[in-house]
Amino acid sequence: MSRSLLPIVVLTALLGACAANAGSDASAESAATAFEAPAEGSCEAGAMLAVANDLSLEVLDDEVGLSRAAAKSIVDHRPLASLEALDAVPQVGPAALSTILAYAKTTRCAPTSGDAEIGLISDLDDTLIPKANPELSKPAVPGIAALYQLLEHRNGGREGDVYYVTARKPDRILEVPAYLEAHGVPTGPIETGTSGAPFIARPEKVRDMEKIFARTGTQRFILFGDSTHVDADVQRDVIAKHPDRVVAGFILKVDEIDPARVSGLHLVNDYAEAAAILVKLGVIEEAEARSVMRAAREQGLAITEARMSELLQ
């Protein structure tokens, strides 16, 4: 081959390689853009937002598997109120969204096996004991007894999986066990507080839940709180630190609350709605949820059979 033709041959080879690489890159990009977002309101959508809003930069990078740039960009753009907002974050493309979804499904939405014992951690005031009822003169919130009993004895499970965490001081819970028994709510250990001030109650409740985690091995829990105090913040703090220990977090809407504070949690108007969500999470059966809804109706919740069916669709 003449010297004059050698550069042409080399150049042709390089151009061919570039074309092949371009085709490969295009195929990869096409595959990456195949991400299908879960439906808004689904467990997967809520879990993706919880992962994006609650986990630290280090966890997003090391455990979730995002690039450092994507993880930092997510942290810098918090709070993220929707999947659309998450998708709009710089450095977050289809590949990152797929990674977040895979992690969310595994840690937040994986169906619970039938023989797994699920624990329950609940607030007291406004969550279980009706609002403005410090003297325990009113019945428990409609449906909560049936729901807690169902979860306590789920699939023939043993008793002793129910715990309560409250900002009440020890001298203000003396009558609570009798109140729970009188209204058919499972009793259990009660972790108390030292002050109702939010800046004190929030870290105290987080520590109390971590104490429960420490003495229950790898057991997973469902968390129940309400929108009047710091429960939403507490649940998000706990989920961020211990994502593998929480099946779901529920916040009963008693007062209005900033949507960003309940991102990744289930904000419900009543325990009929909570029961329906637990069906979708694979925790209870549809027939069991209906029994909770009917019990709530007997206790004063205005709900029709048609509404029950709508919730369970």
How far is it, in rounded angstroms, from Cα 80 to Cα 300? 36
Q: Model's pTM, two decimal places?
A: 0.70
How far is it, in rounded angstroms, from Cα 298 to Cα 53? 38
- Give me the tens of pLDDT residue by residue for the chain, a chain 313 residues long: 544 444 444 444 444 544 444 444 434 344 445 788 887 667 778 778 888 987 888 889 888 999 999 999 999 998 888 899 999 999 999 999 999 998 888 776 655 544 468 999 999 999 999 987 767 889 999 999 999 999 998 866 667 899 999 999 999 999 999 999 999 999 999 999 988 788 899 999 999 999 999 999 999 999 999 999 999 999 999 999 999 999 999 999 999 999 999 999 999 999 999 999 999 999 999 999 999 999 999 999 999 999 999 999 9
In a domain, 278, yes or no: yes
Q: Specify whether 191 is located in the same domain as 103.
A: no
- How many domains does the chain contain in total? 2
Final residue of a domain: which of 64, 79, 108? 108
In a domain, 59, yes or no: yes
For residue 129, the SS3 value is strand
CB 66 within 8 A of CB 101: no
Q: Specify whether 281 is located in the same domain as 162.
A: yes
Q: Specify whether 82 is located in the same domain as 170.
A: no
The candidate with the shortest Cα–Cα distance to 296, out of 278, 276, 269, 270, is 270
The residue range of the domain holding 72 is 37-108
What's the CATH code of the domain at 300?
Answer: 3.40.50.1000
Q: Specify whether 134 is located in the same domain as 248.
A: yes
In a domain, 32, yes or no: no
In a domain, 5, yes or no: no
Strand 266-268 and strand 220-226: the pairing is unpaired
In a domain, 7, yes or no: no
